[in-house]
């Protein structure tokens, strides 16, 4: 099982530069763990791409269909007081936005505060660095 940030889930839903690599990672370990708020972050990204004319309405709808399919199969970290506490802690330690702090907090709750032998899949550089500093193994590897 690996924790997937929303930034890594989007390329599973539509064709992007990192899609092939991320699909390979998903096939290696089909047990995706994601934060409860990830679908909202993904829908926001898809809507932004459509508004910017980077996606057609049909492509957005297809990506939403793929997202819904992923959601039925993944393990979801639910909102809790512990996630909120962890988010507050990581905000004090790392230069993260609130949504990214919640992602990292959910991953920390998932691994029960012991990230050393757990993997965090993410494309956002600032969040990757924070997760690395917390002790997670980060994928995909940067060349």
Query: Is beta strand 137-139 parallel, antiparallel or unpaired with respect to 119-121?
Result: parallel
pLDDT in tens, 93-122: 999 999 999 999 999 999 999 999 999 999
Residue 74 in this model has a pLDDT that exceeds 70: yes
pLDDT in tens, 20-35: 999 999 999 879 999 9
Side-chain half-sphere exposure of 51, counting CA atoms within 13 A: 6
Side-chain half-sphere exposure of 69, counting CA atoms within 13 A: 11
Q: How far apart are CA 121 and CA 3, in angstroms?
A: 6
pLDDT score of 30: 78
- Confidence (pTM): 0.94
Measure the CA dihedral 51/52/56/62, to 10°. Answer: -70
């Amino acid at each position: 099982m690996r924790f997937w940030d929303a930034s890594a889930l989007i390329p599973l839903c539509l064709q992007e530069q990192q899609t092939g690599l991320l699909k390979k990672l998903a096939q290696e370990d089909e047990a995706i763990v994601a934060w409860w708020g990830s679908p909202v972050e993904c829908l926001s990204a898809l809507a932004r791409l459509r508004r910017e004319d980077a996606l057609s309405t049909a492509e957005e709808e297809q990506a939403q269909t793929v997202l819904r399919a992923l959601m039925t199969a993944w393990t979801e970290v639910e909102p809790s007081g512990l996630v909120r506490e962890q988010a507050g802690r990581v905000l004090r330690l790392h230069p993260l936005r609130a949504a990214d702090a919640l992602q990292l907090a959910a991953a920390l709750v998932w691994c029960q505060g012991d990230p050393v032998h757990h993997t965090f899949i993410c494309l956002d550089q600032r969040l990757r660095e924070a997760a690395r500093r917390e002790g997670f193994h980060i994928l995909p590897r940067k060349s």
